[in-house]
Amino acid sequence: MYDFSGQVVLVTGAASGIGRASAERFFAEGASVVLADRNLEGVQSVARELGQDERLHCLGFDAIDRASCIDMVNDALGHFGRLDVLCNIAGIAGGWRLEDMPPADWQRMIDINLNSLFHITQAAIPALVESRGNVINMSSASGKQGQPYGTCYCASKAGVIGFSKAVAAEFASRGVRSNAICPGGVKTPIYDNYTFPENAEMALIDRMRSLPGFGEAEVSDITAMILFLASSEARFVTGVAFDVDGGQLAL
């Protein structure tokens, strides 16, 4: 258990999956939480389930649009007056053969999975410097391991790792920590609805599995790492990309 009383946490992708579970866990641990997602009705539904507490603030934003990302951060700061933890969790996935992937889909995934982190973090960093807070970015095991039919996804998530490390280095002297988390398969709507191209080589796909006995992760396995990294228990941890993958990358 952690105590985040008095702290403000901004979570993107908070309408479902890891983002939702993280927002709920931070709220349970005493934080004031900004639930941000393209699906505004979704985060409002989460807030209702949590009791419409004054410690909750719901925002809709479009991760593709820089102005929307900046406005979302400014709205969060205007509402609570501070920011202690930024969790960049919103993202998309999808599989294409390289020769078939439409350039527009490549750009959309890069915009959501990587470029939005730049826009959001750039807008939030002055407040994080003031609070000596921290940034937690959602990467993937695919940011470290080649994933067949995932050229764009791998590129975007590898970029998240590099971005997280660079922020850690640049802002260490100003008291801001930055880390990335690299899950393997997690039981979320994105994972459940993921499809590979027709006639995909299953022998390649089977390489992307956790070690025997682990199976797919629950969202709670990921939120446990998020809460740890956000807490004072991790005060000496920065610039790291943590594998939470059941040993997928062990071999």
pLDDT, mean over the chain:
95
pLDDT tens digits for range 197-212: 888 898 888 888 899 9
Handedness of CA 180, 183, 187, 188 (dihedral sign): positive
pLDDT for 194 equals 78
Q: Is residue 131 part of a domain?
A: yes
Q: Is residue 230 part of a domain?
A: yes
Residues making up the chain, counted from first to last? 251
Q: Is residue 2 part of a domain?
A: no
Q: Is residue 88 part of a domain?
A: yes
Given 2, 149, 153, 191, which residue is catalytic? 153
pLDDT for 229 equals 98
Q: Is residue 90 part of a domain?
A: yes
Q: Is residue 1 part of a domain?
A: no
pLDDT for 12 equals 98
Q: What is the CATH number of the domain that holds 144?
A: 3.40.50.720
Enclosing domain of residue 173: 8-243
CB contact at 8 A, 48 and 21:
no
Cα angle value 245/89/36 (rounded, 5°): 155
Burial label, 248 (beta-carbon count in 10 A; 0-12, 13-18, 19+): buried
Residue 131 has φ and ψ, to the nearest 5°, of -90, -5
Catalytic, 153? Answer yes
**What is the value of pTM for the model shown?**
0.94
pLDDT for 175 equals 98
pLDDT for 4 equals 98
Mean pLDDT of all residues in 116-135:
98
**What's the CA gap between 31 and 8, in Å, rounded?**
6
Q: Is residue 248 part of a domain?
A: no
DSSP 218: P
Q: Is residue 186 part of a domain?
A: yes
**Which band of pLDDT confidence, cut at 50, 70 and 90, is reported for residue 59?**
very high
**What's the CA gap between 226 and 87, in Å, rounded?**
8
Q: For the chain, what is the domain count? A: 1
Cβ partners under 8 Å of residue 8, min gap 6: 31, 32, 33, 34, 76, 80, 81, 82, 83, 84, 85
Taking 90 as the threshold, does the pLDDT of residue 215 lie above it? Answer: no
